[in-house]
């Protein structure tokens, strides 16, 4: 694994879940951190924890990634302070499980503003510096939902499909600049994501035994920082399912119908 000592790593959605776990692992490996999220109180607690344990620099700033003007202001301030970013982890995101005909337009816009536009805007703020230095790594937290669409996830899946499309194009664009681009495609993770996505608790109840631990997902991400890893697909058996889905979509949808309708 490449050394992360002294690397400047920006993490969105860092106040909890895999964002916070990624921060902890990066701090343990000597990286300097910029923690961004809407909940500044949680960020300050995490910052205090990390700075009391490791000899690193930690910045914590409030940011709602659905606000592109705020992204410009915060990143300008952050980059003026740390000078450049070695790694950007676009982790902020959320989902709401609804049937397509029941999805609220405001929820649809919010999901795309956070999951897609916000991710692109954050990336655009660090790319010029990475291209100038000919070094960097963009890590986009997508989802297996971006590969396997399921009922009640039409909007969320669409947003993650967009993330994968953007990530794959970006990877080719910056390949000659020695910038790495990785998509992380996990299945369900045991975090507070489902407090919003699955308010009735039906999906969590049905897939609880398959849920990934945030610490495990975070380690897979951090272990591959500053490497040419194209994708991180978790768990592996679900990744195999997405390949089968691509090759035989009709068969997959027919026989997977019972499983898909668990939300």
Secondary structure (3-state) at 85:
coil
Active site residue 156: yes
Here the tokens at position 219 are 């380690």
Which position among 54, 156, 166, 203 bears the catalytic label? 156
Query: In whole angstroms, what is the distance from residue 94 CA to residue 196 CA?
Result: 8
CA-based max dimension of the chain: 54
Query: In whole angstroms, what is the distance from residue 261 CA to residue 263 CA?
Result: 6
Peptide bond into 235 cis (omega under 30): yes
Q: In the β-sheet with 231-234, what is the strand arrangement from edge to edge?
A: 58-62, 32-37, 8-12, 87-90, 136-141, 179-186, 231-234
The DSSP letter of residue 212 is B
As annotated, the active-site residues are: 156
């Amino acid at each position: 694994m490449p050394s992360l000592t002294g690397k400047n790593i920006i993490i969105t959605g860092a106040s909890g879940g895999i964002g916070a776990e990624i921060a902890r692992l990066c701090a343990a490996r000597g990286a300097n951190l910029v923690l961004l999220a809407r909940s500044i109180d949680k960020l300050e607690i995490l910052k205090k924890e990390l700075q009391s344990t490791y000899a690193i620099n930690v910045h914590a700033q409030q940011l709602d990634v659905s606000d592109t003007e705020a992204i410009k202001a915060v990143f300008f301030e952050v980059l003026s302070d740390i000078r450049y970013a070695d790694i950007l982890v676009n982790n902020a995101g959320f989902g709401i499980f609804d049937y397509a005909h029941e999805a609220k337009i405001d929820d649809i816009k919010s999901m795309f503003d956070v999951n897609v536009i916000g991710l692109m805007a954050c990336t655009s703020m660090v790319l010029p510096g990475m291209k100038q230095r000919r070094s960097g790594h963009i890590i986009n937290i997508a989802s297996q939902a971006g590969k396997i669409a399921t009922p009640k996830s039409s909007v969320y899946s669409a947003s993650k499909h967009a993330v994968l499309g953007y990530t794959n194009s970006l990877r080719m664009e910056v390949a000659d600049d020695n910038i790495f681009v990785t998509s992380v495609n996990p299945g369900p993770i045991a975090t507070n994501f489902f407090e919003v996505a699955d308010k009735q608790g039906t999906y969590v109840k049905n897939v609880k035994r398959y849920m990934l631990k945030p610490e495990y997902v975070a380690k897979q991400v951090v272990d591959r920082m500053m490497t040419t890893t194209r994708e991180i697909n978790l768990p592996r058996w679900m990744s195999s399912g997405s390949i089968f889905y691509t090759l035989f979509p009709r068969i997959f949808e027919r026989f997977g119908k019972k499983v898909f309708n668990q939300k």
